[in-house]
């Protein structure tokens, strides 16, 4: 009888040990997509802490200068546009005809500021599998993915962007193709990366022609 009792206790102990092992098994890790890795490299994981974004969007071309400044409060989606002509305030959840042009400008300018995040933020898009190609401007061998927008919805439906990035998931060049046309509509370098409260921003984009530069100034991300 004692032997039977001891055997029952041993069985319970073995079951308990198996149960403990099952509970402490590590969770299976999910491999991040290339888009996620690029977005995280630019600080997407820190975005939830950001309450205020301020920046000036500038374009210099052939001696001409254009600029407009923005304040954006992502948690409420309030936007302030400051130009040499006027100051306009609106909320992106309440856009009517009076604000549509300002919002188109905001989406454009914000895209240049936080392009890497749009790889994962924007809905309905497709991201290609990565390939290795020579970059169009530097001719460096880089990784490439293509982001394609759906043919309906948004301000510029059907557009495509080719991103050329290095092994550290930093974008060095890109091509914009309007309406997913086979030929580039624009291509620029990405330069002068600077970090603001964990958010990495490319401060300058340059073409190889037209004496053209798009750059960001007065950047504050808090």
Q: Tens digit of pLDDT for each residue in 177-193? A: 999 999 999 999 999 99
Q: What confidence score (pLDDT) does residue 9 get?
A: 36
Average pLDDT, integer, range 156-180: 96
Which of 12-16, 34-38, 79-83, 200-204 bottoms out in mean pLDDT, i.e. has the lowest? 12-16
What is the DSSP code string of 112-165?
HHSHHHHHHHSTT-EEPPPEEEE-TTT--EEEEEEEE--SSSSSSTT-EEEEEE
With 70 as the cut, is the pLDDT of residue 38 above it? Answer: yes
Q: Under 8 Å CB-to-CB from 153, ≥6 apart: which residues?
A: 124
Per-residue pLDDT, 12: 36
Confidence of residue 20 (pLDDT cuts 50, 70, 90): very low
Pick 172 or 10 by higher pLDDT: 172
What's residue 1's pLDDT? 44
| Other Cβ atoms closer than 10 A to 4 | 8
The C-alpha atoms of residue 201 and residue 217 are separated, in whole angstroms, by 11
**Maximum distance among all alpha carbons in the chain?**
100
Give the mean pLDDT of 188-213.
Answer: 96
- Percent of the chain predicted with pLDDT > 70: 87
Predicted TM-score (pTM) of this structure: 0.84
pLDDT tens digit sequence for 41-61? 999 999 999 999 999 999 999
- 72 class by beta-carbon count within 10 Å (0-12 exposed, 13-18 middle, 19+ buried): buried
Mean pLDDT of the chain, nearest integer:
89
DSSP-assigned letter for residue 183 = S
Report the half-sphere exposure of 87 (CA within 13 A, side-chain side).
Answer: 2
Number of residues in the chain: 222
Bridge partners of 214, per DSSP, are 59, 205
Residues 91-142 have pLDDT tens digits of 999 988 889 999 999 999 999 999 999 999 998 999 999 999 999 999 999 9
DSSP-assigned letter for residue 57: E
- Please report, rounded to a whole number, the percentage of residues in the chain having pLDDT higher than 90: 76
pLDDT score recorded for residue 28 = 63
Cα-only R_g, the chain = 25
More confident residue, 153 or 193: 193
């Amino acid at each position: 009888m004692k032997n039977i009792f001891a055997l029952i206790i041993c069985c319970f102990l073995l079951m308990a040990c198996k149960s403990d092992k099952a509970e402490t098994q590590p969770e299976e890790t999910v491999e991040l997509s290339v888009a996620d890795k690029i977005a995280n490299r630019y600080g997407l994981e820190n975005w939830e802490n950001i309450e205020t974004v301020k920046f000036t969007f500038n374009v210099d071309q052939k001696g001409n200068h254009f600029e407009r400044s923005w304040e954006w409060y992502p948690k409420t989606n309030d936007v302030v546009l400051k130009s040499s002509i006027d100051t306009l305030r609106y909320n992106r959840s309440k856009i009517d005809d009076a604000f549509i042009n300002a919002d188109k400008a905001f989406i454009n300018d914000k895209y240049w500021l936080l392009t890497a995040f749009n790889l994962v933020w924007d809905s309905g898009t497709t991201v290609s599998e990565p390939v290795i190609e020579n970059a169009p401007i530097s001719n460096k061998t880089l990784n490439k993915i293509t982001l394609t927008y759906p043919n309906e919805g948004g301000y510029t439906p059907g557009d495509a962007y080719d991103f050329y990035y290095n092994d550290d998931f930093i974008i060095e060049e890109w091509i914009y193709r309007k309406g997913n046309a086979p030929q580039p509509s624009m291509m620029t370098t990405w330069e002068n990366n600077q970090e603001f409260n964990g958010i990495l921003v490319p401060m300058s984009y340059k073409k190889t022609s037209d004496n053209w530069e798009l750059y960001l100034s007065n950047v504050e991300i808090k």
